[in-house]
A and B are shown apart, each in its own frame.
Chain A
Amino acid sequence: MTEASASVPIASARSGVAARRLRALLAEPKVTIGGGFVLFLITVALLAPWVAPKSPLDQDLMLASLPPRGLAGAESGYYLGTDDLGRDVLSRLIYGSRIALIVAFIAASLAAVAGTALGLLAGWYRGWVDAAISRLVEVWMAFPPVLLSILLVAVLGAGVGSVIAAIAIIDWTRFCRVVRAETMGQAQADYVTAARAIGFPPFRILTREILPNVAPALAALVSLEMGIAVIVEAILSFVGLSVSSDTPTWGGMIAEGRQFIHQSWWVFAAPLAALFATVLALNQLGDGLRRALDPVLRR
């Protein structure tokens, strides 16, 4: 039997698995609600120039510190009020979601790729490879993450690229530990023994056989990691080590709002609420993915 003819039933079996997984996902409220909010946020971020009522950078000191709509002294058109420089809070919030999502997607993906690669190696080869990688993880985790991220950004220089690099450099360990343990378990399974008996090279077994079985656990981790990345970016913006201050970010808005919290609390509260909702949604999505895709939990 050639490989081509053998792959036909396997392919249809795989699409069956995919359909079953999709149904399980849509049946999980945490996935639909959390994922729905994340999709909404992505849409808003992509369409920012069209959905934002004002420019996020336009200052108007005549309209400074206006309260949100519905409060005394509010001005029409400024739904969430303005900050101390008269900039529209809602528009800044909408543009701020761009940085948050860019950092979340890229940083989580990079951390996942690096951590998964090292985790697969450690779990497959064991021995000194595993010992070396595991020791590295241990040293890595002896650093306070927030301190390490600030340290890395100080070394790399402030900016979005540095923030992304810092998150990936710090958080690959989360993926590495889970993937290593999963790989060790999967390596004992019959299908791996079979793949070995056929004579598949380790690279193929790892990427084509083991990785798809680790993928559900990975998907959940990526979602959780995105929540972490959003927070880390906010923290670094808050401290003033992320993008330059003329690009609106949630953390930067919180830091600015903190100075005027007694005069205009909404400048502080609005980005905080956005941060809270985003992190909650990403966490619920991650939790839902884990539940929906884990065959043991599903039963």
Chain B
Amino acid sequence: MMIVLAAFRRLLVAVGTLIGVAIVVFVLLRVVPGDPIAMMISPGASPSDVAALRSHYGLDGGLLSQFVVWTRYVTHGDFGESISLHRDVLSLVGERLPATLELATAALAFAVFVGGFIAVVGATVRRTWLESLIDAVNGLLLAVPDFVWALALVLVFGVVLPILPLTGRINPSVTAGMKTPFYFVESLLTLRFDVLFDVSRHLVMPVLALGFPLAMVIARVLKGALNEAMAQDYVLLARLKGKSEPRLVLQEALLNAVGPTLALIGVQFTFLVGGTVIVERIFAYPGIGNMAIEAVINRDLPLIQGLVIAFAVIFISVNIAVDLLIALFNPKLRHG
């Protein structure tokens, strides 16, 4: 019962945050110099056409009434039409979103796997020179952001060892017959290995660039939690029963160390999602991040609004999901 109530409260806060984001974006974009109608119309439009368009978009009223009009449209799923691409914002975002979701999920999976692996190895060899080495390298790499990782990968796989495609998501020649924009998931489910191979090759560098910083954070925090758990009495008991060190870490300590690490992974994962903006740009990956930069450069206000809200929805969903996961891993919270 408590968890339902907590989830409901969390949802209310989320809706409040979303409204806050909408207001901030709305106000920010209204102070942009330049008339959005002037950018929309064709050169031969008459003044009455301009006036008609202005009232159609509710731009003839004050800031507050504009916001009311905008909110009414948005709640009916109408985010307006992109000025630069002349298409419905919602469907544009919908087409690009799967690419970003697949990229971010793959990067998260990579980070959890690599970070978890480093943490477990580090905890197994604790209090040896190997642990100090892992800590030192981990500490240094912790400072390297996704932008720098991405560029370093471009240098390595673009110049030194040119084996991976530098840009794009998929080779257009293999997309034939794909029914959804979830290329990776669909090709995996329909066993189209040629598509799967091509998509994976394109994913490697963006996934590494986004995944490495998170992997380093997970490695550090999870290893700390594992070391703490390894000092507990129940681990001593298991050791007296003759369990080997790797087994102690994996079977005894890991489950208890995951809980404290989860909260942090949640926060860091939202950074990862934010990082897709620049990483997609560097690799010309056709997701919503790359689209957002295009939209800003083109001053495409309706598209910017739609994209920022899409990002905010992802952020808030991740936060809720993490809160629920933490509750699942923490019996105290589960029963209130």
Contacts and interface: CB of A to CB of B under 8 A. Distances in A.
B21 A139 contact: yes
B83 to A, nearest CB: 13
Contacts, number: 116
Interface in A121-150: 135, 138-139, 141-147, 150
- The size class of the interface chain B forms with chain A is 35 or more
A97 B325 CA distance: 44
B32 interface: yes
B20 interface: yes
A151 B296 contact: yes
Interface stretch (A3-11, A39-47, A262-270): A262-270
Q: Summarize B's interface: helix, strand, loop or mixed.
A: helix
Interface residues of A, number: 39
B315 interface: yes
Interface stretch (A80-88, A178-186, A201-209, A272-280): A272-280
B74 interface: no
A65 interface: no
Contact of B159 (A157, A262, A284): A262
Contact of A139 (B24, B33, B270): B24
B311 A143 contact: yes
Contacts of B145: 231, 279
B277 A147 contact: yes
Contacts of B281: 238-239
A155 interface: yes
A241 B292 CA distance: 14
A180 to B, nearest CB: 17
Given A142-B17, A231-B145, A155 B277 contact: no
Interface in B141-155: 142-145, 147-148, 151-152, 154-155
A144 B273 contact: yes
Nearest to B141: A280
A143 B144 contact: no
B260 interface: no
Interface string A153-170: 011010000000000000
A126 to B, nearest CB: 19
A249 interface: no
A56 interface: no
B296 A150 contact: yes
B300 to A, nearest CB: 10
A135 B28 CA distance: 18
Main secondary structure of the interface of A (DSSP, over half): helix
B147 A142 contact: no
A69 B33 CA distance: 48
A15 to B, nearest CB: 33
A272 B31 contact: no
Contacts of B278: 146, 235, 238-239
A152 B27 CA distance: 12
Contacts of A284: 140, 143
Contact of B277 (A146, A231, A268): A146
B275 A139 contact: no
B166 to A, nearest CB: 8
A231 B143 CA distance: 11
A254 B158 CA distance: 14
A107 B62 CA distance: 34
A234 B316 CA distance: 28
Interface string B9-26: 000010011101100110
Given A150-B292, A151-B296, A143 B312 contact: yes
Given A280-B140, A283-B143, A151 B308 contact: yes
B299 interface: yes
A82 B73 CA distance: 54
B6 interface: no
Contact of B155 (A139, A268, A279): A268
Given A155-B28, A239-B293, A287-B139, 5 more contacts: A139-B17, A144-B273, A147-B289, A238-B282, A268-B151
A-B interface, 3 closest residue pairs, ranked by CB to CB distance from nearest? A144-B274, A283-B143, A139-B20
Interface of A: 135, 138-139, 141-147, 150-152, 154-155, 157, 227, 231, 234-235, 238-241, 254, 258, 261-262, 265, 268-269, 272, 275-276, 279-280, 283-284, 287
